[in-house]
Structure 1
Amino acid sequence: MSASAPKTALTPATHTTPPARFSHGVRKGTILQVAGQVGFGPAREGEAPRPVGPGLREQTLQTFANVEAILKEGGAAWEDVMMVRVYLTDTDHFAEFNRIYDEYFAGLEEAPPARTTVYVGLPAGLLVEADALAVLG
């Protein structure tokens, strides 16, 4: 990767402008980093982001859709993802999350990404957050 490769911020049309000075995703050369995404539904003009539902399944699937939108915006796909970090608010959600995760990624043709899962506090109503690191090429 050339040191002179431009660093490009990625914000899909489905996402709101970040609430602080960060990017939803950044690509530089063949590296694409997706910032932590949560289960907010697609952006609606004049409305604050809201979780898609109260359940882990709905929020997890929307979280993955939000990560995927940024991957696509940067020219990547799940097959390019090397690492996924998952943040859960409740240790009791681990087994259910793993079932959803396994189902979601069942179609990957190459090795699944490495994954770390940690337990955190998230804003009220949010149950899961995920970020991803992709390498293209």
Structure 2
Amino acid sequence: MAGRVVHASAAPKPVGAYPHARRVGDLLFLSGIGPRDPASDAIPGNEYFADGRVRAYDITAQAHAVLANVRAVLEASGARWEDLVDVTAYLTDMARDFKAWNAVWAEYFPDPATAPCRTTLGITALPTPIAIELKCVAALKGDTP
């Protein structure tokens, strides 16, 4: 497959056989990025029952964590936050979490004129007990490694 593969040591390891990102020309495609802590693999804001099922979660904590993980992958790719052009967000509970997700988004992208495009989808589940995952595309300058 064409393009330079990126593995970011400061981001959580992928949960499958895929890279954190792949650069093709002046575009950088990030694989789905979740909020897991890169050092411990813990999910910020999750509370569990004794049997391991999720009892409660904090979408705000997970939203901040997922954006930090996206930043780590961008930086490992030689990209900047400002290079993001498109973000697809997947929420496991749109009715409960969309407003909080919007609030966190506005902290990181306060000016809609300079923010990346964004689509938010409600889905039934993600492969780990997380409430949010992001799929991102960045546009890079030709001299970025």
Task: Give the alignment partner of residue 97 of structure 1, picking from 85, 101, 115.
Answer: 101
Q: When the two structures are superposed, what TM-score results if normalisation uses the length of structure 1? A: 0.83
Q: When the two structures are superposed, what TM-score results if normalisation uses the length of structure 2? A: 0.78
**Structure 1 residue 52 corresponds to structure 2 residue 52:** no
Whole-Å Cα distance in 1 between the matches of residues 109 and 77 of structure 2?
Answer: 20
Number of residues paired by the alignment?
Answer: 127
Q: Structure 2 vs 1, CA of residues 126 and 74 (structure 1 numbering), >3 Å: closer, same or farther? A: same
Q: Structure 2 vs 1, CA of residues 113 and 128 (structure 1 numbering), >3 Å: closer, same or farther? A: same
Whole-Å Cα distance in 2 between the matches of residues 129 and 17 of structure 1?
Answer: 14
Output aligned runs, 1:1-137, within 5 Å: 7-44=3-40, 49-54=41-46, 55-91=58-94, 92-106=96-110, 111-120=114-123, 121-123=125-127, 125-137=129-141
Higher mean C-alpha displacement, 8-17 vs 83-92 = 8-17
SS in 1 for 2:29: strand
SS in 1 for 2:32: strand
* Alpha-carbon distance, 1:43 to partner: 3.1
* Alpha-carbon distance, 1:16 to partner: 4.5
Q: Structure 2 vs 1, CA of residues 19 and 122 (structure 1 numbering), >3 Å: closer, same or farther? A: closer
Q: Structure 2 vs 1, CA of residues 109 and 123 (structure 1 numbering), >3 Å: closer, same or farther? A: closer
* Alpha-carbon distance, 1:131 to partner: 1.5
SS in 1 for 2:31: strand
Unaligned runs of at least 5 residues, structure 1: 1-5
CA RMSD of aligned residues (A): 1.9
SS in 2 for 1:26: strand
Q: Give the counterpart letter for 1:52 in structure 2.
A: P
Q: Structure 2 vs 1, CA of residues 19 and 88 (structure 1 numbering), >3 Å: closer, same or farther? A: closer
